[in-house]
Amino acid sequence: MPDDVYDITIIGAGPSGLFATFYAGLRQMKTKLIDALEEPGGQVAVLYPEKYVFDVPAYTRVLAKDLVKNLVEQAFQYNPTVVLGERVMTLRRDNGLIELGTDKGTTHVSKAVLIAAGVGAFSPNRLDAQGASDYEGKGVYYFVKDKSAFSGKRLLVVGGGNSAVDWALNIQGIAKKITLVHRRDVFRAHEGSVAELMKSECDIRLFHEVKSVEGDGSKVTRAVIFDNRTKAEETIDVDAVLVNIGFRADLGPIKDWGLQIDGREIRANGKMETSIPGVFVSGDIAGPLDGVKLNLIATGYAQAAMAVNVAKAYTDPGSKIFPGHSSEMTQQRDEGVT
């Protein structure tokens, strides 16, 4: 068999994909990890790196970026082949192997594939206001990489969901002033977060929207907001605009791979096997045929472990699905026992 054939290729470097990469290495599988983003971590790294995550085992709370850092360290210890900035476009079986074609014109060949692609390709809903597109990267933001970037600035937050409210709270004490505009008086965010927001020093403008974003050509200096009931306008001085008005998720080319799909979910049985032999699924994109659907990082970990262990037995019929506990596995590996 050619050297470039992998035991398992994992599509998606979010938490579930990273844990799967680790577990595949633990089971001594020749492993490749592919992700369309330029960095590992998936939505956790892109959408809320500076926010705390509270429902990950062994952590009372952990910053999302630190969680990703630890997952990457764990996943890469067995030296998998990692391909970033490359999107898988096609999947097809050929002579018992699975070929993956990417947008870079590359073909990756594997005995098994695990799809851990989260919600698929996602992109933020853009702010429909004059000048907003002109100042993207110059003061108009859709993601927060480092909240210290707003230190001492007058920040305008747009939105009423969890991201908008959480960031308005999270950047308190860092920004000089925070104004939040929301087009309604009902928030989609968690009730506890909304209650905390109402008690904060944030200047909350309900029934308000952004008409335009203005600046000096190199940076944002002000925004025009308006009351959508009275149409009254007001110009406020701002240094940055953080837009959190939702995201569009799309399975993209995955829809054409011949899998059993329902909505944005790939159907799988209790072994995380899809309708295509040798193709497994885990994480948010997985839709159990008979069971409860929970889009949690903890659930994604469990599904990744199940998928990899079943894939190990699929690619190496002489091996067991349950290999024993990790302490036993690493001891056997260190002693050279197979």
Note whether 270 and 214 are same-domain residues: no
Last residue of a domain, one of 194, 220, 245: 245
Compute CA distances 215 → 132, 159, 241, whole Å: 10, 21, 12
| pLDDT score for 328 | 65
- The pLDDT value recorded for residue 119 is 81
In this structure, the answer to whether residues 117 and 256 fall within a common structural domain is yes
| Structural domain of 78 | 5-122+248-334
Whether 111 and 258 share a structural domain: yes
CATH number of the domain bearing residue 81: 3.50.50.60
How do strand 220-227 and strand 233-237 relate by DSSP bridges?
antiparallel
Query: Coil, strand, or helix at residue 166?
Result: helix
Burial (Cβ within 10 Å: 0-12, 13-18, ≥19) of residue 44 = buried
Domains in the chain, number: 2
Give pLDDT, residue 157.
98
Q: Which of 222, 245, 268 is the last residue of a domain?
A: 245
Quick one: pLDDT at residue 336?
59
Q: What's the pLDDT at 199? A: 96
Mind spelling out the 3-state secondary structure of 110-160? EEEEEECCCCCEEEECCCCCECCHHHECCCEECCCCCHHHHCCCEEEEECC
Look up the pTM and report it.
Answer: 0.77
**Amino acid symbol at 321:** I
* Same domain, residue pair 223 and 258: no
Considering the domain architecture, whether residues 94 and 136 belong to the same structural domain is answered as no
Domain edge (last residue) among 200, 229, 245: 245
Listed residue (183, 210, 180) closest to 193, CA to CA? 180
Whether 116 and 135 share a structural domain? no
Reference 40, options 101, 78, 86; nearest CA is 86
Cα separation, 272 vs 278, whole angstroms: 10
Cα of 112 vs its chain's centroid, Å = 23
Burial 150-180 (b: 16+ CB within 10 A, else e): beebbbbbbbbbbbbbbbbbbbeebbebbbb
Residue-by-residue pLDDT tens, the chain, 338 positions: 556 999 999 999 999 999 999 999 999 999 999 998 888 998 888 777 778 899 999 999 999 899 999 999 999 999 999 999 899 999 999 999 999 999 999 999 999 999 999 888 777 899 999 999 999 999 999 988 788 999 999 999 999 998 899 899 999 999 999 999 999 999 998 898 899 999 999 999 999 999 999 999 999 999 999 999 999 999 999 999 999 998 887 888 999 999 999 988 999 999 999 999 999 999 999 998 888 889 999 999 999 999 999 999 999 999 999 888 776 665 555 665 54
Give me the pLDDT at residue 72, please: 97
Q: Are residues 130 and 241 in the same domain?
A: yes
Task: Give the angle subtended at the CA of 38 by the CAs of 36 and 40, to the nearest 5°.
Answer: 85
